[in-house]
Structure 1
Amino acid sequence: MQYIVIPIFIALFIAALYFLFRKKEPAVDVNDEFPSNWKKILEQEVAFYRELSSEADKIRFEKGIINFLNKVTVTGVETEITETDKLLVASSAVIPLFGFPGWSFRNLDEVLLYKTTFNQDYETEGNERNILGMVGEGAMNRMMILSKPELYRGFQNKNSRQNVGIHEFVHLLDKADGKVDGLPKILLKSEYLKPWLKLVHMEIKAIHENESDINPYAAKSEIEFLSVVSEYFFEQPELMKEKHPDLFDILEKMYAQDLA
């Protein structure tokens, strides 16, 4: 997650570029019946949806997609937006909330898809373009930015433990209690807070000592640890249960989902 204080002139410049280059799709207009071509896209692209064990669960996932797209705009910046783009963004939001029927993100209005990675000044050209996604702050509040190629990569690589869409939506969940601190109090019951923090510090220590298969970016902070291990949990649950059983157990409780 990136924390950026933007001077007024930079914010105005960014806003000008945004309105100049964005290609905004019209609001989603769907009936109660989920479009059949959308079902095909989810079956092909989203393993989480494909592996749901019942038709009722798939219908609930689909309703979550519709609810998200009716509330949040997906906008392309220097890139065209397709149905698959919108469905992958929406799936990234639905997956971490799937254990909580009826929940939705109330702290987000728009997701911007960039044509590539970007830098601290939101530029997609030049050096230091190492940012894959971020939750906006300040002038970009209630917005999320994702690199479109990285969004796709998170869903297409079956052996990956990374998914930038899920990563950023977990940051939003962390933010929902008013404080971004790696302690999502809306998800984690009070009796699990101390065990969670103990595991966080143990795993960060293991990462620093090169004794963990968790993405080293998790060791940057408790905030990033939450999002990184959540990616791992949703992308490779069986591997996480094998390698990190205690961490897997508390994440199952946190997200109210039995993935193994």
Structure 2
Amino acid sequence: MLYLIAIAILLIVLFVSLRSKKRDKTVSLDKVVVPEHWHQLLLKHVLFYQKLNSNDQKVFCSKMVSFLNETNIEAIHFDLEELDRLLIAASAIIPVFRFPNWRYYNLSTVLIYPDYFDDDLQFDAQVEGRTIGGLVGTGRFEKQMILSRKALHLGFSNKTDKGNTAIHEFIHLLDKEDGVIDGVPSVLLDKQYIIPWLQLVHKEMEAINNDASDIRHYGGTSEIEFLAVAGEYFFERPKLFQRKHPELYNMLALCFSN
């Protein structure tokens, strides 16, 4: 009997300890210190932030601080500037802004190159075929993201192109949360919506490939790229997207307002 009581006490102590550790990992956003000058920089460069109310802007900045504290950002062959870091953090937070306590556990480092790069990650101006603006790493680059600085800034400076490379790559990371990048946002959608999602994706991809859609052609290459391309459009031009693609807009609203 005493043996069973001792085991019960140990289990209770272990449970309380684990709960305490879990609480310690979740930092209250109210306690996060946000540099005051961020507000003006984000108002100038990030349209998504501009459209938030003042309270949501504070939450957005706090989430950015948490992301930057948890993620290593390395510049390759150039000096990293504060705006580079802020735009990367904003890109990370935009798709998950409505998610409480979200963490990118499948990301440790963002490598930022000065320009577009090729399949061999070459970015020298003399190298031909440099068309890649971002990718989510695999193999030896597992838990890493590679971004072109030029593509990063273009995504926020062009307010009418419906695209944003960095947001695109972070949506791929969300897709990868279930262990595989397949264009099926299993962690974002309830199971009953998966089949309707796939049916809608195939219909929209067919329209893209028949030049009957204003969604970027890259979205017609695979289900994987469709999710990321449609997600860019959803965040960059939400009103236009809702008007042009109401059914798809509603489905993505379910995904990103978790």
Smaller-chain TM-score bracket: 0.7 to 0.9
Preserved CA contact (<8 Å) 1:97 1:104: no
Residue aligned with 2:178, SS: coil
Residue 242 of structure 1 corresponds to: 243
- Cα deviation per residue 1:58-92 (whole Å; 9 max; x = unaligned)? 11101110010000011100111111000000000
- How far apart are residue 32 of structure 1 and its match? 2.8
Quote the residue 1:226 is aligned against.
227
- Aligned residue number for residue 116 of structure 1: 115
Task: Kindly state the Cα deviation for residue 179 of structure 1 after the two structures are TM-superposed.
Answer: 1.4
Show the counterpart of 2:214. 213
Q: Which has the higher helix share?
A: 2
Separation in 2 of the partners of 1:80 and 1:113? 10
For the residues of structure 2 that align with 1:183 and 1:225, how far apart are their CA atoms?
Answer: 10
Tell me the alpha carbon deviations over residues 115-135 of structure 1, each in whole angstroms, 9 at most, x when there is no partner.
100011110121111111000
Q: Please name the residue that 1:200 is paired with.
A: 201
Higher gyration radius (CA): 2
Matched, 1:160 2:161: yes
Counterpart of 1:145? 146
Distance across 2 between alignment mates of 1:185 and 1:83:
34
Q: Tell me which residue corresponds to 2:84.
A: 85
Distance 1:44 1:33 in 2: 21
| AA partner of residue 175 (structure 2) | D
What SS does the aligned partner of 2:118 have?
coil
Q: Which residue of structure 2 aligns with residue 10 of structure 1? A: none
TM-score by length of 1: 0.85
Moved over 2 A (4+): none
For 1:38, the aligned partner's letter is W
C-alpha displacement of 1:177: 0.6
Taking the aligned partners of 2:86 and 2:186, their CA distance within structure 1 comes to: 28
* Corresponding position of 1:45: 45
Does the CA-based 8 Å contact 1:112-1:145 persist in structure 2? yes
**Once the 2 structures are TM-superposed, how far is the Cα of residue 101 of structure 1 from its aligned partner?**
1.8
2:94 is aligned to 95
TM-score, normalised to structure 2, is 0.86
Give the corresponding residue for 1:180.
Answer: 181
Q: Give how far 1:47 is off.
A: 0.8
- 1:224 CA drift (Å): 0.4
Supply the AA of the counterpart residue of 1:229.
A
CA contact (8 A) 2:75 2:111 kept: yes
- How far residue 33 of structure 1 moved from its aligned partner, in angstroms, is 2.7
The structural deviation recorded for 1:204 is 0.6
Residue type matched to 1:256 in 2? S
Paired residue secondary structure (2:166): helix
Helix, strand or coil at the partner of 1:224: helix
Runs of 5+ unmatched residues, structure 2? 1-30
Residue 8 of structure 1: aligned partner: none
* Cα distance in 1 between the residues matched to 2:40 and 2:180: 38
CA distance in 2, matches of 1:36, 1:251: 33
Distance in structure 2 (CA, Å) of the matches to 1:101 and 1:86: 22
CA distance in 2, matches of 1:202, 1:80: 45
Contact conserved, 2:33 with 2:62, CA < 8 A, in 1?
no
RMSD between superposed Cα atoms in Å: 1.0
Give the distance between the partners of 2:196 and 2:32, measured in 1 at CA.
Answer: 42
SS state at 1:144 partner: strand
Q: Which amino acid aligns with 1:144?
A: M
- Cα distance in structure 1, aligned partners of 2:186 and 2:32: 33
- Take 1:184 and 1:208, find their aligned partners in 2: how far apart are those partners? 22
Aligned length: 226
User: Which residue number in structure 2 is paired with residue 32 of structure 1?
Assistant: 32
Name the counterpart of 2:13: none
CA distance in 2, matches of 1:181, 1:173: 11
Secondary structure in 2 matching 1:86? helix
Residue 22 of structure 2 is matched in structure 1 by: none
Which stretches in structure 1 are left out of the alignment for 5+ residues? 1-30
Q: Tell me the secondary structure at the aligned position of residue 135 of structure 2.
A: strand
**How many percent of aligned residue pairs carry the same amino acid?**
43
